[in-house]
Homo-oligomer: A and B are copies of this chain.
Amino acid sequence: MIVINERSPIPIYEQIIQQLKELILKGAVTSGEKLPSVRELSATILVNPNTVSKAYQELERQGVIETLRGKGTYVCSQQAAKITPEMLEQIRQSLKQTVLEASYAGISGEQLKTWIDQYLLELRSGTNA
């Protein structure tokens, strides 16, 4: 369910984080569900275990998943997600940056809004991106 793009400038552990979050939001992986172990996932997606481990640790720090010692890693109930003002500002900044690039490329605000709606729909319906 997770696909790594080795040529992407986005670090592999970030790709894992993003895709797991997407799977959770889509409901493909639900609260309380056990995730594949570090070794399993690393074997499946052909990535070093350390890299998967780094992704899991970061997701735990963000309150998305939790680790029970010796038992495995589980998806948290999502109301636990911790949002800080810094995270909010970072989202605003990255949106701003995207809009700037889009303006440069001649993409209208309307087009961007349509894409937002499309993607939100995908998330809600659990469709693949």
A residues engaging B (CB < 8 A)? Answer: 6-7, 11-12, 18, 21-22, 25, 61, 64, 66, 68-69, 71, 81, 83, 87-88, 90-92, 94-107, 109, 112-113, 115-117, 119-120, 123, 129
Contact = CB atoms under 8 A, between A and B. Distances in A.
B69 A83 contact: no
6 contacts: A6-B71, A7-B66, A99-B119, A103-B123, A109-B117, A113-B116
- Interface SS of A by simple majority: helix
Contacts of A100: 18, 21-22, 25, 119, 123
Contacts of A81: 104-106
Nearest to A105: B83
